[in-house]
């Protein structure tokens, strides 16, 4: 154990301790004597479909027949896995997960069913139908990346093989073969790049570049890849080529199947997601493991988002609250896994929040007047762009819809008429909401002013936060006639029991030094979406300082003036409204920075020459520079081993937990603490994620806390080094 420090500013003091050996994430197990479980996953090419020129339109067994024959020739027992058993060759295992027309998003939606059956290898070939059906390449590539992440996370022991798609040599749906194949080539580039990126991130995925290895023209016509075929689906020779390529990819990996070691934690179970408010989702699950060090929460927007880790939670966590989402306009998927020093568990079940829908669709509509029966109010929300409502006979032209119940509205679209280019219909209108059908009082959500929308244009209003309203009206503001094609409304129905939150409790403000004030409070509600902090100086008006998400109970306000009086207050808010403000709390900033306040608390240290009191100095020669002593609230002239950082092993079931622990001085919020790791003291050093850190008050020291961060070494490492990096702002001295 040793310390290193540098005297240049900004000052960095580093604590390093030799690494310890770690456990492997799994054991490599030979497959001798047991069948290899292979799941073919994809579209009609996985199924073995041909075209109408071939009897029955199928090649029995597709590539699976040749793959099975080649494995059998190597004395490898085979068990195909899948939900389907159609189109099999005589005598072969018929199971597979391939279906005509499937796109990448449809395969993604089916994964919970597919992965319920255990497999050792998954052969993923998908994307051709995305190209044929006009799905943008970027969208299909995102879906493919989500397939890689979800398969390898839900089943960590599976080896996933991802293939590029074959060339497309036939026109389809009014698209030329050249254009389709150009899109296929662009998609294949994405496949190669995303497989490489996920493999580099440690996932058990490898590329099978079918497109690059396919031979389209053989020595005889019968050996041509698409003979007999349609330029999209292979013929017999083509499927035989694919089977051989899959064999080349799979066979060398048959002896490297990973078996879950006893050290890995069990997967969380029973994950549930509840929409608690328009902007809040409550997750809850059962912790099925007794030896995890943390839980990871994963999420993605189901409308084309990539799976991302959104939270690292402490061990034994069984719930998490997501704030700041827009449940009326987006659906999100979630999964949770447990982590310890051996690695990650399988994912929990994947849960998805409800898909958004147009809340105005086919609801009761009314209007100031209609031009005639062909332009009735119901034409404004029938979901069709070929119909419209048009006004007549009044100077107050409006159209409105009854949403049937109050909704927190989050998005509104007004589509202008599609048949006639009348500029007057594309400007000077306002979108209003009310709980009074007569709109005696209302709230404006926005609208279109004197600048007209383009012909066939759409006004889209993104509403950040509203109270619940039942009625929505589109009103003309210039007294002219009006017509619109469609009005769409997205939002969340008023959630039962959601009320404005209670005001926070126990609000306090402490001047940490000359420029920083530390605020603390206790939430008195479980329904807040966040907190709003306000400050004033002297007798001036309160001004906003920060808006924080739910779950926060403290805030550091910086860049203040020394020896100045400030007053603070905080309140909670959600879609139903705001709480009352807390009682106002005055505070006076100190005359000097926190470092100087700390130094003054030790008279012998304060009496030293200025050069010996600098942050980088070590006046007593104990190897602990002054800034590090300040960071741990130590006496700079008296070593305190109990307050030095340490690596701690905590025994548990299976693999032990490993933690980095250090003291944090809450009276110096300008200090930045970061744990870094490297395989050698020479570096390079990288930050250790701190989201799973657990902070607990130090007994008898209310202004100190003990911080414990779980560590996750890489599988196979024999040692790793860790250090604490402390960064201080420039000191006044």
Q: Containing H/E element for 110? A: helix 104-114
Domain membership of residue 575 (yes or no) is yes
Q: Which residues of the chain have pLDDT under 50?
A: 1-33, 653-655, 730-733
Are 123 and 229 in a shared domain?
A: yes
- Whether 451 is covered by a domain: the verdict is yes
Cis amide prior to 389 (ω within 30 degrees):
no
Q: Let me know whether 162 and 230 are in one domain.
A: yes
Query: What's the confidence (pLDDT) of residue 273?
Result: 97
The pLDDT of residue 227 is 86
Say what the pLDDT of residue 689 is.
Answer: 76
The enclosing domain of 377 has a CATH number of 2.60.120.260
Facing residues of 159 across strands?
121
CA–CA separation, 187 and 707 (whole Å): 46
DSSP three-state, residue 148: helix
In a domain, 528, yes or no: yes
Looking at residue 695, its pLDDT comes to: 82
Rounded Cα distance, 340 and 584, in Å: 45
The reported pLDDT for the residue numbered 168 is 96
| pLDDT on residue 698 | 84
Task: Report the C-alpha gap between 284 and 318 in whole angstroms.
Answer: 6
In this predicted structure, what is the pLDDT of residue 312? Answer: 86
Three-state DSSP state, 192: helix
Query: How many whole angstroms separate alpha carbon 272 and alpha carbon 283?
Result: 6
User: Would you say residue 498 lies in a domain?
Assistant: no
The domain boundary residue, chosen from 594, 628, 651: 594
Q: Between β-strands 429-434 and 469-476, what pairing exists: parallel, antiparallel or unpaired?
A: antiparallel
Q: Are residues 105 and 33 in the same domain?
A: yes
Q: Is residue 611 classed as helix, strand or coil in its secondary structure?
A: helix
Residue 118 lies in a domain: yes
406 and 469 share a domain? Answer: yes
- pLDDT attached to residue 17: 31
The CATH number that applies at residue 341 is 2.60.40.10
Q: Are residues 370 and 401 in the same domain?
A: yes
**Is 440 within the bounds of a domain?**
yes
What does the pLDDT read at residue 24?
Answer: 22
Distance CA 178, CA 277 (A): 49
Residue with tokens 């809450």: 666
Is residue 517 within 8 Å of 511, Cβ to Cβ? yes
Number of domains in the chain: 5
One domain for residues 97 and 14: no
Asked if residue 278 and residue 348 are part of one domain, the reply reads yes
pLDDT at 47: 96
- The pLDDT, as a whole number, for residue 200 is 85
Domain with residue 126: its CATH number is 3.40.50.1110
Q: Which of 469, 503, 512 is nearest to 489 (CA)?
A: 469
Q: How far apart are CA 78 and CA 259, in angstroms?
A: 18
Residue 500 lies in a domain: no
On whether both 626 and 723 belong to a single domain, the answer is yes
Q: Are 576 and 612 in a shared domain?
A: no
Q: Name the domain boundary from 317, 352, 387.
A: 352
The pLDDT value recorded for residue 138 is 96
Both 468 and 549 in a single domain?
A: no
User: Do 509 and 536 reside in the same domain of the chain?
Assistant: yes
| Domain limits for position 300 | 269-352
Check whether residue 619 and residue 716 sit in a common domain.
yes
- Give residue 715's pLDDT: 56
- The domain boundary, picked from 594, 620, 643, lies at 594
Element (H, E) at 175: none
Cβ(453)–Cβ(416) below 8 Å: yes
Query: Quick one: how far is CA 657 from the chain centroid?
Result: 26
8 A C-beta contact, residue 157 and residue 26: yes
Residues with Cβ within 8 Å of 579's Cβ and at least 6 positions away in sequence, in order, are: 500, 501, 502, 503, 504, 524, 525, 528, 571, 572, 573
What local confidence, expressed as pLDDT, does residue 729 receive?
60
Q: Is residue 555 part of a domain?
A: yes
Helices and strands: H and E segment counts in the chain: 11, 42
The token pair that represents 22 in the structure block: 């770690």
Cα 292 to chain centroid, rounded: 22
């Amino acid at each position: 154990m040793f310390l290193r420090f540098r005297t240049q500013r900004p000052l960095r003091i580093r604590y390093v301790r030799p690494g310890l050996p770690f456990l492997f994430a799994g054991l490599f197990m030979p497959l001798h004597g047991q069948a290899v479980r292979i799941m073919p996953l994809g579209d009609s090419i996985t199924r073995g479909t041909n075209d109408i020129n071939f009897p029955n339109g199928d090649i029995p067994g597709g590539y699976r027949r040749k793959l099975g024959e080649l494995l059998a020739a190597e004395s490898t027992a085979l068990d195909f896995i899948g939900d389907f058993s159609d189109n099999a060759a005589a005598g072969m295992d018929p199971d597979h997960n391939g279906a005509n027309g499937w796109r990448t998003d449809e395969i993604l939606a089916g994964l919970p069913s597919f992965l319920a059956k255990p497999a050792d290898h998954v052969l993923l070939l998908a994307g051709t139908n995305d190209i044929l059906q006009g799905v943008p390449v970027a969208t299909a590539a995102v879906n493919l990346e989500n397939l890689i992440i979800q398969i390898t996370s839900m089943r960590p022991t599976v080896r996933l093989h991802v293939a590029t798609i074959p060339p497309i040599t036939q026109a389809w749906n009014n698209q030329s073969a050249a254009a389709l194949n150009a899109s296929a080539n662009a998609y294949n580039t994405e496949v190669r790049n995303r497989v490489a990126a996920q493999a580099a991130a440690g996932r058990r995925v490898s590329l099978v570049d079918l497109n690059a290895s396919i031979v389209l023209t053989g020595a005889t016509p019968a050996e041509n890849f698409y003979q007999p075929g349609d330029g999209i689906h292979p013929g017999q020779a083509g499927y035989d080529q694919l089977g051989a390529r899959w064999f080349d990819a799979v066979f060398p990996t048959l002896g490297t199947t990973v078996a879950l070691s006893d050290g890995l934690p069990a997967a969380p179970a029973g994950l549930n997601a509840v929409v608690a408010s328009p902007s809040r989702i409550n997750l809850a699950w059962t912790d099925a493991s007794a030896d995890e060090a943390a839980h990871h929460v994963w999420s993605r927007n189901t409308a084309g988002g990539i799976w991302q880790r959104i939270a690292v939670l402490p061990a034994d966590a069984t719930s998490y609250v997501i704030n700041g989402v827009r449940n009326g306009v987006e659906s999100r998927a979630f999964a949770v896994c447990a982590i310890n020093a051996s690695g990650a568990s399988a994912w929990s079940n994947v849960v998805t929040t409800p898909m958004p829908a147009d809340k105005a669709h086919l609801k009761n509509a009314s209007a100031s007047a209609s031009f005639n029966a062909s332009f009735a109010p119901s034409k404004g929300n029938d979901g069709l762009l070929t119909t419209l409502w048009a006004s007549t006979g009044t100077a107050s032209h409006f159209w409105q819809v009854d949403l049937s119940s109050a909704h927190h509205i989050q998005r509104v679209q007004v589509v202008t008429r599609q048949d006639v280019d009348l500029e007057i219909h594309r400007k000077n209108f306002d979108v209003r909401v009310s709980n009074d059908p007569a709109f005696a009082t209302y709230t404006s959500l926005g609208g279109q002013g004197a600048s007209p929308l383009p012909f066939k244009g759409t006004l889209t209003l993104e509403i950040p936060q509203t109270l619940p309203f039942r009625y929505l009206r589109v009103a003309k503001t210039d007294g002219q006639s009006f017509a619109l094609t469609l009005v769409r409304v997205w939002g969340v129905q008023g959630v039962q029991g959601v009320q404005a939150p209670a005001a926070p409790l126990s609000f306090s403000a402490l001047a940490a030094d000359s420029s920083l004030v530390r605020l603390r409070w206790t939430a008195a509600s479980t329904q807040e979406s966040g907190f709003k902090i306000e400050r004033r100086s002297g007798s001036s008006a309160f001004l906003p300082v920060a808006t924080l998400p739910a779950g926060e109970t403290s805030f550091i306000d910086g860049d203040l003036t020394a020896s100045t009086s400030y007053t603070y207050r905080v309140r909670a808010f959600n879609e139903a409204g705001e709480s009352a403000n807390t009682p106002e709390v005055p505070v006076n900033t100190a005359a000097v920075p926190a470092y100087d306040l700390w130094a003054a608390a030790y008279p012998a240290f304060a009496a030293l020459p200025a050069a010996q009191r600098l942050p980088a100095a070590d006046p007593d020669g104990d190897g602990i520079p002054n800034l590090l002593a300040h960071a741990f609230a130590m006496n700079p002239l008296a070593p305190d081993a109990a307050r030095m950082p340490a690596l701690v092993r905590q025994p548990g079931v299976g693999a032990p937990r490993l933690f980095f622990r250090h003291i944090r001085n809450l009276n110096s919020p300008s200090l930045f603490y970061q744990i870094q790791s490297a395989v050698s003291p020479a570096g390079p050093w990288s930050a250790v994620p701190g989201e799973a850190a657990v902070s607990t008050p130090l007994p008898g020291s209310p202004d100190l806390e003990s911080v414990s961060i779980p560590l996750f070494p890489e599988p196979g490492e024999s040692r790793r080094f860790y250090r604490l990096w402390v960064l201080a702002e420039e000191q006044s001295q």
